[in-house]
A = this chain, B = another copy of it.
Amino acid sequence: VNVITLTTDFGTRDWFVGTMKGAILGVNPRSAIVDITHEIPPGNVRAGAFALMASRKFFPKGTVHVAVIDPGVGSARKMIAVQTRDYFFLGPDNGVLSFALEWEKIQAVHALTNESFFLQPVSRTFHGRDIFAPVAAHLSKGLPIRRFGPALKSFHRLVWPQPCVGRNEIRGEIVYIDRFGNAITNLRGDELPKRTTKNWQLHFKARRVCPVAAFYQAVPDNKAVAVVGSSGFLEIAVNGGSAAELFRLKVGDRITARWAE
Which residues in B have their C-beta under 8 angstroms from that of A180? 11, 42
Q: Is the CB of A15 within 8 A of B129?
A: no
A21–B215 CA distance with the chains assembled, in angstroms = 23
The copy count of this chain in the complex is 3
A26 CB-CB contact with B under 8 Å: yes
A29 CB-CB contact with B under 8 Å: yes
A216–B127 CA distance with the chains assembled, in angstroms = 13
Q: Which of A68-76, A140-148, A166-174 contacts B (4 or more CB under 8 A)?
A: A68-76
* Residues in A26-47 with C-beta less than 8 Å from chain B: 26, 29-30, 32, 34-39, 42-43
Q: Is the CB of A18 within 8 A of B35?
A: yes
Q: Is the CB of B34 within 8 A of A125?
A: no
Within 8 Å by CB of A15, from B1, B13, B36, lies B36
Instruction: Report how many residues on chain A are interfacial, defined by Cβ distance under 8 Å.
Output: 63
Residue from A15, A73, A126, A229 with most neighbouring chain B CB atoms (10 Å): A15
* Residues in A189-204 with C-beta less than 8 Å from chain B: none
Interface string of A157-185 (1 = CB under 8 A from B): 00000000000000000000011100000
Q: Is the CB of A124 within 8 A of B214?
A: yes
Binding site for B on A (CB under 8 A): 1, 3, 5, 7, 10-19, 21-23, 25-26, 29-30, 32, 34-39, 42-43, 51-52, 54-55, 58-60, 63, 71-75, 119, 123-126, 129-130, 178-180, 214-218, 227-230, 240
A34–B178 CA distance with the chains assembled, in angstroms = 23
Q: Is the CB of B1 within 8 A of A25?
A: yes
Known: A11-B179, A13-B39. A215 touches B125 (CB 8 A): yes
Known: A22-B59, A32-B29. A15 touches B215 (CB 8 A): no
Q: Is the CB of B13 within 8 A of A230?
A: no
Known: A22-B55, A29-B60. 7 other contacts (CB 8 A): A12-B35, A12-B39, A15-B37, A15-B54, A16-B230, A18-B34, A19-B59
Known: A25-B32, A124-B215. A71 touches B15 (CB 8 A): no
Which residues in B have their C-beta under 8 angstroms from that of A35? 12, 17-18
Known: A1-B29, A215-B125. A58 touches B19 (CB 8 A): yes
**A32 smallest CB distance to B (angstroms):** 6
A-B pairs, top 4 by smallest CB distance, nearest first, are: A74-B215, A126-B230, A11-B179, A22-B59
**A222 smallest CB distance to B (angstroms):** 12
Which residues in B have their C-beta under 8 angstroms from that of A179? 10-11, 13-14, 16, 42
